Amino acid sequence: MIKVDRTTLDQLEQKYPDIGKQIFYFEQAALSTCAHCGSADTADVQCGVIGRTIHIATATTKFKLTLNRPEPGTFFCNRCDQFFD
Ligand SMILES: [Zn+2]
């Protein structure tokens, strides 16, 4: 789900060319349902924190950033706050 409005997306696009495409890519991605609660409200997990990825994580619920290496799981559940593979 997109969490920011059109104006914010346009501002991000100016700062990070093609970020809109990346956000759309994650929005469209077919992710696994949660292994713990079965929710479809899940996210793809990526490591590291740089400007562009922070903004992608801010813009869509389907992208989750973590500082932990290795990632605690391939996916993250937005409903029960747990990582899973
Ligand atoms: Zn869950």
Please report the beta strands in 1-85, taking only residues with DSSP state E, as ranges in sequence order.
Answer: 42-47, 63-66, 75-77, 83-84
Ligand 1 centroid distance, CA of 18 (Å): 31
Structure confidence at residue 70 (pLDDT): 86
Would you say residue 50 has pLDDT above 90? no
Ligand 1 centroid distance, CA of 14 (Å): 35
Q: Which is higher by pLDDT, 68 or 32?
A: 32
Structure confidence at residue 41 (pLDDT): 97
Please tell me the pTM assigned to this model.
0.88
Ligand 1 centroid distance, CA of 8 (Å): 29
Q: How confident is the model at residue 9 (pLDDT cuts 50, 70, 90)?
A: very high
Q: Is 62 exposed, middle or buried (0-12, 13-18, 19+ CB in 10 A)?
A: buried
Residue with tokens 């970020």: 19
Average pLDDT over residues 41-51: 91
What percentage of the chain exceeds 90 in pLDDT? 88
Q: Is 50 exposed, middle or buried (0-12, 13-18, 19+ CB in 10 A)?
A: exposed
Ligand 1 centroid distance, CA of 62 (Å): 13
Is residue 1 helix, strand or coil?
Answer: coil
Domain range annotation of the chain = 6-84
Ligand 1 centroid distance, CA of 81 (Å): 6
